[in-house]
Amino acid sequence: MELTTLWFLLIALLWTGYFVLEGFDFGVGMLLPVVSRDETDRRVALGTIGPVWDGNEVWLLVAGGATFAAFPEWYASLFSGFYLALLVLLVALILRGMALEYRGKIDDDRWRRRWDAAIVGGSFVPALLWGVAFANIVRGVPLDADHEYTGTLFTLLNPFALLGGATTVLLFALHGAVFLALKTTGEVRTRAIGVAKIAGPLLIVAGGGFLAWAVLAYGPLWTLVPAGVAAVALVVGTLLAARGREGWAFLSTAGAIVAIVVTLFGTLFPDVLPATDPANSLTTTNASSTAYTLTIMTWVAVAVTPIVLAYQAWTFWVFRRRLTRDDMTGEAGLPVRAGAHAR
């Protein structure tokens, strides 16, 4: 296998890990006002992602860094063309991170409500924009002979991209609802299951339409297989969540995300950023770094990746048990800081 193909697959793997892990973080954030009725409920919901959300974001940093190092032309064209959308996304992620860290610093309802709004918005905006961005990457964008983007922001807001954005919002909402049901008890769990019952069918319709459009319009025939797997996994995950089998439901929604990413990257290869004029498209060949750079990157990845995966697996194992309302109350009834995870 050529190193350019290997790194295309590795970058797809990194985005898969990011969407599987950060996807439920976005879902929990978006659903915060839906699954909670009081401050204790909100602490329970946020406590499920408190120990892991910042680690999950590392996948995005590594995916971006790997793209920059392995395919610098892809990185340059993508970030210049999608500059405004990615700036909005970055601001949303920053506000969300600040909110998760600072909402519990002051014991004031108005203070917490403002940060809660930042959590909801900072989760919804990236969930929407990632779908819009990847849909445009699959569809192709206007590039000139120098691989510079020649469109506008409104060029990116086409029907296919907006359907992609709606799909990722519903996908992460379902994934987050199932994760909440898996990690909590009582009313928060019950409300999360209720959300899954609604989000699941909506996602099956929107996501099914988006994947069918992507495969039939832009993908090779074999991408029908992962697209079909994704559809089945979404149906199974929704049914399992409704029956209270949230462990298996979470594996199903995670599997659906994997299958969707495989479908999207499968429609791309060997392109990394198709152009509306195929002669100007960026491919794994004309967008890549030198063979020497890719070789060094490969050895670094082989050495470091197992350590990172082991650490993250250990984190999830340590914080594996369900949270209850009692966990969010400290000694003498004093509330535990939001985002903390009771041991």
Digit-coded pLDDT (tens) for 202-211: 999 999 999 9
Q: Is residue 194 part of a domain?
A: yes
Q: Is residue 100 part of a domain?
A: yes
pLDDT tens profile 141-200: 999 998 888 888 889 999 999 999 999 999 999 999 999 999 999 999 999 999 999 999
What confidence tier does 312 reach under pLDDT thresholds 50, 70, 90? Answer: confident
Q: How many domains, in total, are found in the chain?
A: 1
Q: Is residue 264 part of a domain?
A: yes
Q: Residue 324: what pLDDT?
A: 87
Output 147 or 341, whichever has higher pLDDT: 147
Q: Is residue 191 part of a domain?
A: yes
Using the predicted structure, report yes or no on whether residue 339 has a pLDDT greater than 90.
no
Q: Is residue 343 part of a domain?
A: no
State the burial class of residue 17 (Cβ atoms within 10 Å of its Cβ: 0-12, 13-18, 19+): buried
**Which residue in 158, 178, 166, 95 sits closest to 130, CA to CA?**
166
Say which amino acid occupies 311. Answer: Y
Q: Is residue 339 part of a domain?
A: no
User: Domain range for residue 105?
Assistant: 3-333
Mean pLDDT in residue range 299-324 = 89
Q: Is residue 341 part of a domain?
A: no
CA R_g for the chain: 20
Residue 293 half-sphere exposure toward CB, CA atoms < 13 A: 12
The rounded distance, in Å, linking the Cα atoms of 291 and 257 is 31
Using the predicted structure, report yes or no on whether residue 287 has a pLDDT greater than 60.
yes
Whole-prediction pTM value?
Answer: 0.91
Q: Is residue 242 part of a domain?
A: yes
The rounded distance, in Å, linking the Cα atoms of 36 and 40 is 8
pLDDT tens profile 104-142: 888 889 999 999 999 999 999 999 999 999 999 999 999
- Positive or negative, the Cα torsion across 165, 166, 167, 171? positive
* Average per-residue pLDDT for the chain: 91
